[in-house]
Amino acid sequence: MKITEARLIVCSPDRNFVTLKLCTDEGIYGLGDATLNGRELAVASYLSEHVLPCLIGRDPFAIEDIWQTLYRGAYWRRGPVTMTAIAAVDVALWDIKGKALNTPVYNLLGGRSRQGVLVYAHANGKDIEEAVDSVRRHMEAGYLAVRAQCGVPGVAGSYGVPKGGKPYEPAERGLPGEGVWSTERYLNFVPSLFEKLRVDLGPEVHLLHDVHHRLTPIEAARLGKALEPYRLFWMEDPCPAELQESFELIRRHTTTPLATGEVFNSVWDAHELIRRQWIDYLRMSIVHGGGITHAKKTADFAALYHVRTGFHGATDLSPVTMAAALHFGLAIHNFGIQEHMPHTRLTDEVFPHEYSFAEGYMHPGDAAGLGVDIDEKLAAKCPYQRAYLPVARKLDGTLTDW
């Protein structure tokens, strides 16, 4: 089999997605996601200018060799743009291989290890009452794990809380918006949210919380300690993680489980975090972390250190990534949990897929390959729209981590 065509589809069915379609001389094609939120066209151009021409004529079964060629062969290694581009090619190749062998991708990764993939939903509210209500509604819809975010009094535009009753969507069309941030107000407030959640909703539901990189390590340590009575499933991205030893400090002070890595793009971003057991869950996704090939190596390394996966799954990761994550999560042994933020109906129409949700778990379906397709005609009716993630400023105007 040979790759005969490599095509990029850039579309915006309610939000932007970059999708790679690799076609072969046997009529089988594979899809890969290349979406990097707010920087979509950088990856599209990296692929179309520098990667796709090199794929024509290659054997799509040679996944490892193509991965190494794109990684080592570029000389310039790592980085979100490069690793997202490599991921798009890699995932499309796994899709092709599954279809060619007439088996779901999870069978190529070791086969089913569990019945379904535990997922967590996003609940939020402008105040505690609304947030508790939102968690309750997600539990009623069958979710066993729910992330809770809440507006902080005196902090307009807190992370994870949508404006005007719309579902939360991180990127906004146009140029970057600005939010306000106060660590003091947030730290004083958050424990009361989780106290109320446990009092009202009981001990069973898995509760998660995303700090979104906004604290210093010692502040994060204080928060982790304050949240211990409410037994969180995890506290996510407590501080920026470029300095991996920050987590040693947090870890020393709290038994609240820690998750990080949605902005990571290779095992090297998490090497010390894993090796020193400073985290419990790794969030690096298949799309931003070099595809299934690199995720498998990273997860196998993490398994040696009791670290489990908890992959990023916000709406900026397309249904192609969701499908890949579900095949992966069904197969690997050290799977932990998968984020599930449902896409809009229009996105689901552009990307018809086999995966489904029932009673707290998702399943990738048993179709050959990834079980996800793209409706190119509909995609063409939804052209790219410039959109950005917002930035955040402290009350005195200093730019801080969003």
In angstroms, give the least distance from the CB of 66 to Mg ion.
30
The residue ranges of DSSP E strands in 108-193, in sequence order, are 117-125, 145-150, 172-173, 178-181
- Candidates 209, 212, 213, 363; catalytic one: 212
Looking up tokens 């000389």, which residue turns up?
Answer: 75
Please state whether 142 falls in left (phi above 0), alpha (psi between -120 and 50) or beta. Answer: left
Element (H, E) at 261: none
Q: Which stretch binds Mg ion (CB under 5 A): 12-20, 50-58, 202-210, 287-295?
A: 202-210
Q: Determine the size of the site formed for Mg ion (CB under 5 A).
A: 2
* Whether the Cβ atoms of residue 314 and residue 13 lie closer than 8 Å to each other: no
User: Which CB sits closer to Mg ion, 375 or 401?
Assistant: 401
In angstroms, give the least distance from the CB of 350 to ligand CS2.
19
Residue 276 exposed, middle or buried by CB count within 10 Å (0-12, 13-18, 19+): middle
Using CB distances below 5 to 8 A depending on partner kind, what does residue 314 bind out of ligand CS2, Mg ion, none?
ligand CS2
Binding-site ranges for ligand CS2 (CB under 6 A): 37, 170, 210, 212, 262, 312, 314, 316, 339, 389
Catalytic residue check, 168: no
- Candidates 71, 159, 230, 355; catalytic one: 159
Q: List the one residue out of 367, 328, 371 whose CA is nearest residue 102.
A: 367
User: Which CB sits closer to ligand CS2, 24 or 35?
Assistant: 35
Please report, as residue ranges, which positions from 245 to 304 form the binding site for Mg ion (by CB under 5 A). 262
Q: Which stretch binds Mg ion (CB under 5 A): 51-59, 85-93, 130-138, 210-218?
A: 210-218
Catalytic residue check, 209: no
Distances (CA, A) of 179 to 126, 154, 169, 365: 14, 12, 14, 40
Distances (CA, A) of 99 to 29, 102, 332: 8, 5, 20
Instruction: Based on the shown chain and the rule CB under 5 A, indicate whether residue 210 belongs to the binding site for Mg ion.
Output: yes
Distances (CA, A) of 230 to 54, 121, 187, 197, 355: 53, 18, 15, 9, 32
Positions marked active-site: 159, 212
What is the binding site for Mg ion (CB under 5 A)?
Answer: 210, 262
